[in-house]
Amino acid sequence: MSEPSTRSRRASGGRASANSNESLPLAGPVDRERIVAAVREILLAVGEDPDRDGLRETPQRVARMYEEMFAGLRTDAALVLRKSFVEKYDEMVLVKDIGFESMCEHHLLPFFGKAHVAYLPNGKIVGLSKLARALEALAKRPQVQERMTEELADLLMRELDARGVGVILEAAHTCMSIRGVHKPGAVCTTSAMRGTFQSNPSTRSELLALLRTSPLS
């Protein structure tokens, strides 16, 4: 009975529901040898020789890459945000252009781009680097951009007890540029608005206006 339960958790990316205050169990250590064996089989299946000089160490390299790319399966994104500071500041906090890389779960090809994250504090603030670390914890796992956007917004609302959260992700998907329709240069934009950002049009407009301002030179 434990295996179906594990499959179910992995299929959901190890996520807690938006209404839960508890994180689901994290994935165990990466089984590198199993990945190595699988990559060797893939190379054989496409007609290559995994023992030739250029490919001999490729399965090991892929195993190390997957361990890095899927490190978020073993990271509790909520814990990243648990250290906060009491502060009376109650205006918008916005961090723009946070770079990220993730792996599309449909083809196991990377997508990458930048995130813009804003929140309205409710008596406490969090270190700015924690916003980037929370994003990375969610990105380093099999993902779809739409879900990751909502996951980050819900996580910030819950852990920061924020009055509002706005998350916008812009990303290029290699599953769209190097295969299938072959449309390099296409960018997907997703957004998730919570709390005041969702209910107050002027707050949402302020966020969008700040996103249009030029970065520091």
Which entry of 48, 67, 105, 206 is annotated as an active-site residue? 105
Question: Residue 56's CB: how many other CB atoms inside 10 A?
Answer: 11
Query: What's the first-to-final CA gap in the chain, in angstroms?
Result: 57
Which entry of 104, 136, 143, 151 is annotated as an active-site residue? 104
Residue 197 burial class via C-beta count within 10 angstroms: exposed 0-12, middle 13-18, buried 19 and up: buried
**173 part of the active site:** yes
The three-class DSSP label of residue 140 is coil
Of 64, 78, 95, 67, nearest to 165 (Cα)? Answer: 95
**105 part of the active site:** yes
**CA distance linking residue 91 with residue 111, whole number of Å:** 32
Residue 74 burial class via C-beta count within 10 angstroms: exposed 0-12, middle 13-18, buried 19 and up: middle
**CA distance linking residue 65 with residue 101, whole number of Å:** 13
**143 part of the active site:** no
Which entry of 107, 170, 188, 206 is annotated as an active-site residue? 107
Which entry of 175, 188, 198, 206 is annotated as an active-site residue? 175
**145 part of the active site:** yes
Task: State how beta strands 142-143 and 93-104 pair.
Answer: parallel
Which entry of 116, 136, 143, 145 is annotated as an active-site residue? 145
Tell me which amino acid residue 54 is.
G
**188 part of the active site:** no
Of 2, 1, 128, 155, nearest to 72 (Cα)? Answer: 155
Known catalytic residues? Answer: 104-107, 145, 173, 175
